[in-house]
Structure 1
């Protein structure tokens, strides 16, 4: 597929024309005591406090995000689209408390969502050229940041954790269609092939997994 730019320019950071602000997101009990608080998070300046609270409280990955990352080279994939994982050597130089933490910027969320979609599209042969893939990546990040598009809820907190940070875990009983074979395949990984779809409860006893 071919993609044309509507909001971004080639070679320019898609966030360059978007103002961001630092804020604090918190939840308080009726007596004023704090239940949840995340200070100095970064969100688009045009977003309401409610929108900032939702992404911080619901969709930021709260643990396991490496402070230092290293790219995983793939010969058939453009270098800007390579997956990342924790840089163990660099992390050893940090204190244990500083090695892993939470996402703190909405840009991290936009990057991992759009990056993963672009990565999957590249692997599946959807893009006519690398330029089209880069265009899609940039345009999607801009549109997410300006609230022109938004995926369903499980995408926000599941998609991209493996691609962006190397976070993984055992499969949760979900399936995916293998793009190479076209066959329905049970996932062995919780996040390489995540469950990004809306929940469809069949009955009160449905576990959403079986």
Structure 2
């Protein structure tokens, strides 16, 4: 697919454009047509009273039932029991591989349109056949969010001031919402027995750690699961 307004690329950039050799796929044959598919039910918990259920989901026959349950519950996007809900691995793999390939096309990463098609087909094959997998934020966000958050973990810093502490909580909340986790060095925050300039004693880093832990439990990653803090 050609971008609507192809970017102007320098000669040096053009020389660095990617040529993609196919290893698993054949031009004109879609990777989805190279596997056998079946409809299954994704059920988690007691079948009599399941914690989660989505019936009639489409998966390759080579994928395990455990993989079916995890992918359906965690990574299919859209409100369940609505037409917007994803129900097939074709959709989730196509969403991720197609979006990444389109980014490359729009930025002229590929030497030719055929190289872009080869990249998309090869990535689709790799994901479809479980040769490799992306982290959770990629499955959550790519092809679904306008500006997807794709990193699994962020490292934050904080200074010994209330403004900095509140800014840390705001950043961390946004990170959790996008499906990622975060780590932070709290050594700059004074201890709980140290005095404040305006009187009284500091709350200490542990109290703020408890607050961050509450954030992690309250803000579900992509509406799916608790993140690490």
TM-score with structure 1 length normalisation?
A: 0.64
- Residue 140 of structure 2 corresponds to residue 193 of structure 1: no
Structure 1, gaps ≥5 residues long: 65-96, 162-190
User: What's the counterpart of residue 33 of structure 2?
Assistant: 16
Deviation at 1:202, TM superposition (A): 2.7
Query: What RMSD over aligned residues (CA atoms) do the two structures have, in Å?
Result: 2.3
Structure number having the greater helix percentage? 2
Deviation at 1:35, TM superposition (A): 2.1
User: What's the counterpart of residue 103 of structure 1?
Assistant: 86
User: What's the counterpart of residue 76 of structure 2?
Assistant: 60
Structure 2, gaps ≥5 residues long: 1-17, 155-181, 185-208, 220-229
What is the rounded CA distance, in whole Å, between the counterparts of 1:35 and 1:202 in structure 2? 30
Larger CA deviation: 13-22 vs 41-50: 13-22
Per chain length, whose mean CA-contact separation is higher, i.e. which structure has more relative contact order (CA < 8 Å, sep 6+)?
A: 1
User: What's the counterpart of residue 45 of structure 1?
Assistant: 61
Higher gyration radius (CA):
2
| Aligned 8 A contact 2:153 2:183 in 1 | no
**Count of aligned pairs between the two proteins:** 146
What is the rounded CA distance, in whole Å, between the counterparts of 1:9 and 1:136 in structure 2? 12
What is the rounded CA distance, in whole Å, between the counterparts of 1:35 and 1:101 in structure 2? 21
User: What's the counterpart of residue 179 of structure 1?
Assistant: none
Structure number having the greater strand percentage? 1
What is the rounded CA distance, in whole Å, between the counterparts of 1:54 and 1:62 in structure 2? 15
Mapping for residues 1-210 of structure 1, pairs under 5 Å: 1-29=18-46, 32-63=48-79, 100-161=83-144, 191-200=145-154, 201-203=182-184, 204=209, 205=212
